């Protein structure tokens, strides 16, 4: 380590003056000393500050601000310091227009540096009119403090709960419901989960709410199967929250960081609530994936539909179909859609949603995309268009190989991670599928995340 420190022009605990030149994809300010980058929380490009070095590595270090000497015109007052401490709103100090520009730049940089695809034009990021209160789902940990139940979020990189009532980026009715449910559990003496001792009862309160329907689902995640007194807790929740149509008791007895356990018991209604998207009504279960920003999801999916350019004659494959949110919209404009999803519960919901919306030209299958698509390709399934919306890790090599074998004229890629998008686009380019533009969409204002829609065309 000594040798590493000698190579750096700064040492730990040294105070230096830097001018921030850029933001990293994690939102840290980048200031340089003799070309050596220091990454600093709460530093914005153009600002000058005295910083204290906290960690020195071979090629970069970390520091914290001691004194801000100049202030960026893009800096705005922090709405809630707690949102920075726990990491739920890491960009809340940055003017919203500048957030959109930052996300545009992240996509551009990744396509250039990782994908070696500088020719792809990155369009301006599509933002929100009101970039607050958009999340339709909350999974909030419950712990004990001074003998009372508290809800909030964990301080960054710790398991220390910071009590919070207002998350600002969540639907305000969800924030209110979390506190109402917590206080009802408190009234009946339900004990909070103790992570270190693996004792206690209530681990998380999850609330999901339909943006268009107002329907609300409450999920109580506990360590053990017994939850007393259910006969009083359920009526009290229903009395205090008239929008609640479903109460689910989920049991997670394991010592892990996974929120939901495998076993669930329905305490009220069904394990389902409803919402609407692109003119369709969707039934959504407690374990189903459903995009958390309904306003931007409609914009995102409409972009994907527009990119597919369907005429009614095409066969489409929808990989990672979830509960069928984009599948049903594709089916209305295509001849037939083949859709796959690894989560069995989601496929059950997708089939139910197709039936309830009167859509019959869809074939659903449970399985991992990288396993199902090669199987379909081996069976001779051909498609004119493939739509992919993978998790952050992007596409598996086996899926890409199978997609090329299927030979669609077009692949529409909906990405939640510009880095893996860039990697995958480079692989597709080698195999004869090219993109000319990328459209970022801000699904998660005040955070570092960005979604991107790209249409790939088969080389003629």
Closest by CA position to 55, among listed 33, 70, 40, 45: 40
Q: Would you state the pLDDT for residue 26? A: 82
At 12, is the secondary structure helix, strand, or coil?
A: coil
The burial of 431, by beta-carbon neighbours within 10 Å (0-12 exposed, 13-18 middle, 19 or more buried), is given as middle
Q: Would you state the pLDDT for residue 3? A: 43
The burial of 166, by beta-carbon neighbours within 10 Å (0-12 exposed, 13-18 middle, 19 or more buried), is given as middle
Q: Would you state the pLDDT for residue 157? A: 84
* Residue of 416, 419, 422, 450 marked active site: 416
Owner of token pair 């090219």: 434
Rounded CA separation 377/366 (Å): 16
Q: Would you state the pLDDT for residue 6? A: 57
Rounded CA separation 127/45 (Å): 21
**What domains are defined for the chain?**
2-68 (2.40.50.140), 137-277 (2.40.50.1070), 293-458 (3.40.50.150)
Tell me whether residue 416 is one of the annotated catalytic residues: yes
Task: State which residues of the chain have pLDDT below 70.
Answer: 1-6
Q: How many CA atoms lie within 13 A of 84 on its CB side?
A: 14
Check residue 194 and report its DSSP letter.
B
Q: Would you state the pLDDT for residue 2? A: 41
Residue spans of alpha helices (H) in 357-450: 369-378, 397-406, 418-430
Q: Would you state the pLDDT for residue 429? A: 97
- Both tokens of 456, joined, read 């790939």
Rounded CA separation 155/152 (Å): 9
Interval 345-365: pLDDT, tens:
999 999 999 999 999 999 999
Closest by CA position to 250, among listed 271, 272, 220: 220
Any idea of the CA torsion for 77, 297, 440, 259, to the nearest 10 degrees? 70
Residues making up the chain, counted from first to last: 460
By the 8 A CB rule, do 285 and 275 touch?
no
Closest by CA position to 200, among listed 239, 247, 255: 255
By the 8 A CB rule, do 442 and 100 touch?
yes
Q: Would you state the pLDDT for residue 264? A: 97
At 391, is the secondary structure helix, strand, or coil?
A: coil
Q: Would you state the pLDDT for residue 4? A: 45
Q: How many CA atoms lie within 13 A of 375 on its CB side?
A: 10
By the 8 A CB rule, do 408 and 376 touch?
no
Check residue 227 and report its DSSP letter.
-
Query: Cα-flanking dihedrals φ and ψ of residue 426, to 5°?
Result: -65, -40
Question: Across the chain, how many H-helices and E-strands are there?
Answer: 11, 23
């Amino acid at each position: 380590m000594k040798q590493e420190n000698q190579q750096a022009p700064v040492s730990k605990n040294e105070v230096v003056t830097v001018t921030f030149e850029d933001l990293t994809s994690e939102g840290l300010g980048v200031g340089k000393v003799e070309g050596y980058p220091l990454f600093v929380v709460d530093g914005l490009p153009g600002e000058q500050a005295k910083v204290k070095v906290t960690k020195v590595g071979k090629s970069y270090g970390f520091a914290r601000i001691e004194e801000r000497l100049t202030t960026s015109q893009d800096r705005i007052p922090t709405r809630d310091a707690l949102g920075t401490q726990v990491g739920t709103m890491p960009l809340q100090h940055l003017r919203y227009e500048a957030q959109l520009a930052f996300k545009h730049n992240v996509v551009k940089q990744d396509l250039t540096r990782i994908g070696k695809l500088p020719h792809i034009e990155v369009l301006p990021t599509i933002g929100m009119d009101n970039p607050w209160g958009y999340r339709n789902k909350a999974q909030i940990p419950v712990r004990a403090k001074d003998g009372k139940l508290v809800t909030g979020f964990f301080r960054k990189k710790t398991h220390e709960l910071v009590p919070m009532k207002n998350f600002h980026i969540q639907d305000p009715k969800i924030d209110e419901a979390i506190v109402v449910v917590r206080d009802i559990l408190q009234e009946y003496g339900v004990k909070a989960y103790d992570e270190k001792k693996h004792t206690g009862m209530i681990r998380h309160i999850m609330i999901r709410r339909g943006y268009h329907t107002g329907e609300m689902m409450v999920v109580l995640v506990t360590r053990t199967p017994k939850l007393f007194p259910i006969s009083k807790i359920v009526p009290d929740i229903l009395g205090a929250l008239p929008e609640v149509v479903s109460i689910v008791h989920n049991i997670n007895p394991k010592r892990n960081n996974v929120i939901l356990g495998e076993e669930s018991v329905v305490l009220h209604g069904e394990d389902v609530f409803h919402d609407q998207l692109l003119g369709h009504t969707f039934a959504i279960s407690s374990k189903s994936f459903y995009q958390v920003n309904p306003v931007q999801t409609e914009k995102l999916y409409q972009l994907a539909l527009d990119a597919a350019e369907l005429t009614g004659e095409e066969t489409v494959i929808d990989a990672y179909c979830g509960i069928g949110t984009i599948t049903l919209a594709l089916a209305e404009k295509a001849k037939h859609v083949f859709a796959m999803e690894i989560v069995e519960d989601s496929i059950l919901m997708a089939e139910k949603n197709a039936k309830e919306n009167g859509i019959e030209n869809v074939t659903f299958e449970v399985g991992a995309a990288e396993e199902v698509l090669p199987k379909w390709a081996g069976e001779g399934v051909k498609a004119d268009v493939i739509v992919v919306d993978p998790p952050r890790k992007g596409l598996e090599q086996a899926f890409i190989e199978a997609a090329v074998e299927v030979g669609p004229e077009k692949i529409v890629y909906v990405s939640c991670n510009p880095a893996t998008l860039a990697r995958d686009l480079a692989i597709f380019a080698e195999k004869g599928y090219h993109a000319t533009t990328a459209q970022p969409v801000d699904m998660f204002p005040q955070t570092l995340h960005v979604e991107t829609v790209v249409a790939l065309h088969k080389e003629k």
